Amino acid sequence: MVPEAVETEGHQVRLDALLAQPDVLRVAFQPIVHLASCATIAYEGLARFPAPSELTPAQWFSTARRLGRGLDLEYAALRAVVAAARGIPIDCPVAVNLSPTAALDESIQEFLLAQDRRLVVEITEHEPFPDGLAAGLTRLREHGIGLAVDDAGAGYASFTQLLRLRPDFIKIDGELIADIDNDPAKRAIATALTSLGVEMNATMVAEAVETAGQLQALIHLGIEYGQGYHLGMPKSLDKQ
């Protein structure tokens, strides 16, 4: 058996074992804060996988998609995040990451609609946004579930997609935030995204804020909210 096949078989076995016992998933919550005051206004729930693992969370999800189990893993992670979020006040929004395919899945939508807390569906950029995505999310939004677009300014989260989706939150990609205090071109892109957000009445959130210089540059640009290691590390609730 070639090495690639052995590796794939090993990942398949571990993935099947994890999905058979999804309670082994752990969840960390990273605060989303008001930049000027550093007050927490929401959290993003992040699935964490059992150790030891040579795969990052992103690699776990990409491997699951490659093996045809992507939707199963996203649903398991979603349930884990919602269960762990019981320790957060129900009026404090919690963002859950979903691919476009998962966000349109009927079972996942029914699960989201059954929750009694404030949730925000954060659309990830693992795949292109289908033309019917905005219409497919209408029912969720009508029931008060917010919509965020992750990694705006990179990947599939283009200006055109933002116009189609009209999200409640636009999260500026961390690659644009890196060195934004020293790079006029990055500031120009962030300014353009922010102007679009204002016109759409969307809340702007800067991702991967890791330095005081970035924080001050973002405040100067008029971006009100952010998340990143400089503002708060992802932590499980029992370590808050």
State the pLDDT at residue 1. 39
Residue ranges per domain, the chain?
3-239
Closest to 82 (Cα-Cα) out of 124, 110, 40, 53 = 110
* CB-CB contact of 156 with 128 (8 Å): yes
Q: How do residues 31-42 score in pLDDT, each as one tens digit?
A: 999 999 999 999
Q: How do residues 212-236 score in pLDDT, each as one tens digit?
A: 999 999 999 999 999 999 999 999 9
Cβ neighbour number for residue 231 with a 10 Å cutoff: 22
Cβ neighbour number for residue 165 with a 10 Å cutoff: 21
State the pLDDT at residue 40. 98
Q: Which CATH number fits domain 3-239: 3.40.50.300, 3.40.50.720, 1.10.10.10, 3.20.20.450?
A: 3.20.20.450
State the pLDDT at residue 4. 46
The residue that leads in pLDDT, 91 or 24, is 91
Tokens of 102: 């998962």
Q: What is the pTM of this model?
A: 0.91
* CB-CB contact of 24 with 50 (8 Å): yes
